[in-house]
């Protein structure tokens, strides 16, 4: 069994015929057919069934195809890793970010990645925090930015900063700089995300600890839906800072105090999927971007100081899972 034979089997399975696969693989059809015949003879089982409109995989062929795809992908990633050792990271990197900060992060990540790492093929998935957390846990993405890393299992997380939550609702610009107590905020008509989402759970937890009840009159899952009700004066909401500049321009944003509600924002990746060199480079780029945005106020929060002991512990955890 050779790597060439496995690649030919993949080509046939995905093209649906010998002739189409031969064109994709830039090889003569008789040569491709002969390699598959040799593979079937060696394994002593039929891998393909000829049909009037092409070929189909047998059960054994389907299983070998799945294994072959995994093997070939791993070998191709090794090539990228070796090429990356020359100082130019190469390969595909997938990142998850919360939808509420997509307008803030997405353009900057893409712009800086194209400028600094032109050989990296980048995919950025923006969605609900819950979906992003699941993608990180399962290793569907290389890493992600999220506020609930402490709730996830089998992930390696690096806390970057803590963010405050704000009450946003009807009011004058003069009121925007005035803090509001959680009890006052909770008594207003609120539109909130569903309880299944992390932001809502964090607010509910703070309200319960403070002994107050949230006056939630509307539930909306999307940030634009929440913003539309706030802009029209139908309700107020509680959220983190990034959506405010884009979605709540004509309203008052007031920091919640007594008590303050905070969340820790981290960069995390699956403990079962070590970062490639290209993914490590992108993680460092995103970390630097987050530090910059918090420092200049585009994302309101407080940076978490990194100690040498914490860095060493993270490195040891990463090595243990490699």
Size (the chain), residues: 322
Cα dihedral value 19, 21, 25, 29, nearest 10: -30
- By percentage, how much of the chain surpasses pLDDT 70? 85
Say which residue, 148 or 168, is predicted with more confidence.
168
Pairing of strands 91-98, 120-127: parallel
pLDDT digits (tens, 9 = 90+) for 80-93: 666 665 667 888 89
Say which residue, 70 or 57, is predicted with more confidence.
57
* Burial class, 212, CB count within 10 angstroms (exposed 0-12 / middle 13-18 / buried 19+): middle
SS3 158: strand
Say which residue, 73 or 307, is predicted with more confidence.
73
pLDDT digits (tens, 9 = 90+) for 163-206: 999 999 877 655 667 899 999 999 999 999 888 888 899 999 99
Domains in the chain with CATH codes: 3-84 (1.10.10.10), 91-163+264-321 (3.40.190.10), 166-260 (3.40.190.10)
Long-range contacts at 11-15 (CB < 8 A, ≥ 24 apart): 12/36, 12/48, 12/55, 13/57, 13/61, 13/65
Task: Tell me how far the alpha carbon of residue 322 is from its chain's centroid.
Answer: 21
What integer pLDDT is reported at residue 274 of this predicted model? 80
- By percentage, how much of the chain surpasses pLDDT 90? 38
pLDDT digits (tens, 9 = 90+) for 235-290: 999 988 866 656 666 678 889 999 999 999 999 998 877 888 889 999 999 999 99
């Amino acid at each position: 069994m050779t790597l060439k034979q496995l690649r030919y089997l993949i080509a046939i399975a995905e093209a649906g015929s010998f002739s189409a696969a031969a064109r994709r693989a830039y090889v003569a059809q008789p040569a491709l057919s002969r390699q598959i015949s040799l593979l079937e003879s060696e394994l002593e089982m039929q891998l393909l069934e000829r049909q009037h409109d092409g070929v189909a995989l047998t059960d054994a062929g389907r299983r070998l195809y799945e294994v072959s795809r995994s093997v070939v992908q791993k070998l191709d990633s090794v090539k990228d890793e070796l090429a990356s050792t020359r100082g130019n990271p190469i390969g595909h990197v997938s990142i998850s970010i919360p939808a509420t900060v997509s307008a803030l992060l997405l353009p900057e990540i893409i712009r800086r990645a194209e400028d600094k790492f032109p050989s990296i093929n980048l995919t950025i998935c923006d969605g609900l925090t819950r979906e992003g957390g699941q993608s990180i846990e399962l290793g569907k993405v290389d890493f992600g930015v999220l506020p609930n890393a402490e709730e996830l299992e089998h992930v390696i997380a690096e806390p970057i900063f803590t963010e405050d939550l704000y009450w946003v609702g009807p009011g004058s610009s003069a009121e925007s700089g005035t803090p509001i107590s959680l009890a006052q905020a909770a008594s207003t008509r609120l539109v909130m995300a569903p309880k299944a989402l992390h932001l809502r759970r964090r607010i509910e937890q703070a309200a319960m600890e403070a002994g107050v009840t949230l006056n939630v009159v509307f539930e909306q899952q999307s940030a634009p839906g929440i913003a539309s009700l706030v802009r029209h004066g139908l309700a107020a909401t509680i959220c983190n800072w990034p959506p405010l500049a884009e979605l709540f321009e004509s309203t008052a944003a007031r920091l919640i105090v007594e008590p303050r509600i905070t969340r820790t924002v981290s960069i995390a990746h699956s403990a079962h999927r070590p970062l490639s060199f290209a993914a490590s480079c992108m993680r460092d780029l995103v970390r630097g971007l987050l530090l910059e945005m918090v420092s200049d106020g585009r994302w309101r929060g407080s940076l978490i100081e990194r100690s040498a002991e914490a860095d060493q512990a993270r490195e040891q955890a990463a090595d243990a899972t490699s």
